[in-house]
Amino acid sequence: MITHKTLLVFSIAGITWLTACSDNQSQPAPETKTGIAETNRLEITDAWSRPAKEGMMSAAYFLINNGTDQADTLLSAVSSVTSNTQIHKSYEKEDGLMAMEEQEMVIIPAKATTEFKQGGLHVMFIQLEKELSVGENLELTLNFSSGISKTLSVPVRAN
Amino acid sequence: MKNILTILTGIVVFGAACNPKPTIIDDLSDITFELVNEDSTNISFPGHFEGDYVVMGFIYTNCPDICPLVTQNLVKIQKELNYPDDVQFVAASFDPFRDTPSVLSKYKDAFRVDKNFTFLTGDTTTVSAFMDSVKVRSQVSMTTTTGDGKEIYFLNHSDKIMVLDPKSRVVLEYGGSMTPVSYIVEDIQKLRN
């Protein structure tokens, strides 16, 4: 005869095991990190680019820290590795397909960090005119509406 | 004593529930697609990989952002699993018109992948049928003109990594670019244990 006490013990054991069983397969990916820039200038940090062969595609990623009181706008990008450098954003469409859209400009809010990252905003190198090898650096210039131009030496590395 | 017995029973019952047979999402064992790898070697999929687990992502090489991330995730999964002999890694192109074996070979070189890592393409008809069977969609989204005046196109596409068991059954599926690699690795380890 099963008593109430026995049922309680059985239930606790079961709940414990079910909790242990729960997988994390459906957990969402971490949210995009944004934060307040730490300086009072506009700075580009954490830049990197993916290795790729000549004629293929690659992209550059970085953080734009706008520590000033004024929003700025990224208007264009020029690189040393292809004459066709564009600013794009990857996103997921309503139908579930991954899509990409060229950005004519990107607003860079004041006192904030704008993240160019895989699966989001990125500078795209179309049909590389030279191979990008791990350990090398490429030159990337970002032009802003304020008149600021920032030229970066972007390291090539596997993510 | 009776309570101890009850606890033990509970552990056995729920412990069994903890390691259920994986849910079969799709069974690919009764179909065959004649594809080619990056060396132009014919590969019958999935028969060629039968007996091993297969971790498979879907890409096109003119994709600058999402597909390299999918490929890199496959590379990371292989590394975190410590390059197991019983797990094959496959990146299949849904853009066979441009992704010829030689293009895939170039792409593979850039990722410095290890053994047991195959890139697949094929004729457009076969690849289209294959992508339908694994529910991977793609469509031309935009075009741009290169420096030498050539027009190139980009694709909207599914974002997927899936895992086949040794009987060629799809048992796990993920968003290919955004799912943390550690989740996938953990699930594969559970499968193999």
Report CB contact under 8 Å: A5, B3.
Answer: yes
- Alpha-carbon distance of A47 to A51, in angstroms, equals 13
Give the pairing type, strands A85-92 and A98-102: antiparallel
Nearest to B62 among A17, A57, A122 (CB): A57
Residues of chain A scoring pLDDT < 50: 1, 14-34
Q: What is the pLDDT of residue A32?
A: 35
User: Tell me, what's the pLDDT at B146?
Assistant: 78
Out of A9, A17, A119, the one facing B66 most closely (by C-beta) is: A119
pLDDT for the residue B193:
87
Helices (H) and strands (E) in chain A, counts: 1, 10
B159 touches chain A (CB under 8 A): yes
Q: Give strand pairing partners of A155.
A: A137
Q: How far apart are the first and last CA of chain B?
A: 33
Q: What pLDDT does residue A26 have?
A: 37
Look at residues B116, B108, B115 and name the one whose alpha carbon lies nearest to residue B61. B108
For residue B106, list chain A residues with Cβ-Cβ distance below 8 A. Answer: 53, 55-56
Q: Would the CB atoms of B144 and A96 count as touching at under 8 Å?
A: no
Q: Which of A6, A98, A115, A121 to mutate to test the interface with B (most CBs of B within 10 A)?
A: A98
ipTM of the complex: 0.82
- pLDDT score recorded for residue A24: 39
CB contact under 8 A, A100 and B65: yes
Q: Which of B2, B65, B77 to mutate to test the interface with A (most CBs of A within 10 A)?
A: B65
Contact status of B10 with chain A (Cβ, < 8 Å): yes
DSSP B18: H
What is the block-wise mean pLDDT of chain B (193 residues), using blocks of 10 residues?
Answer: 54 49 90 97 97 98 95 96 96 97 95 91 98 96 83 94 97 96 96 91
Distance CA B185, CA B193 (A): 12
Give the chain B residue whose CA is nearest to the CA of A83.
Answer: B147
Reading the block at residue B106, the tokens are: 């170039």
Amino acid A121: pLDDT = 98
φ, ψ of residue A59 in degrees (nearest 5): -155, 160
Q: Which two tokens stand for residue B190?
A: 């559970």
CB-CB under 8 Å, A56 with B107: yes
What is the pLDDT, as a whole number, of residue A158? Answer: 86
Cβ <8 Å between B183 and A18: no
Would an 8 Å CB–CB cutoff place B109 in contact with chain A? yes
Residue B15, H or E segment: helix B2-18
d(CA A153, CA A136): 10
Per the CB < 8 A criterion, the answer to whether A60 and A123 are in contact is yes
- For residues B125, B127, B130, B136, the Cα torsion angle rounded to the nearest 10 degrees is -120
Q: Can you give the pTM of this predicted structure?
A: 0.82
What does the DSSP 8-state code read for residue B39? Answer: T
How many CA atoms does the CB half-sphere of B87 hold within 13 Å? 22
Nearest CA to B35 among B96, B79, B80, B82? B96
For position A45, what pLDDT does the model report?
97
Q: What sign has the CA pseudo-torsion B96, B123, B170, B85?
A: negative
B39 vs chain A: nearest CA distance in angstroms? 17
φ/ψ (deg, to 5) at A14 = -65, -45
Query: Using the beta-carbon criterion (under 8 Å), do A25 and B183 form an inter-chain contact?
Result: yes
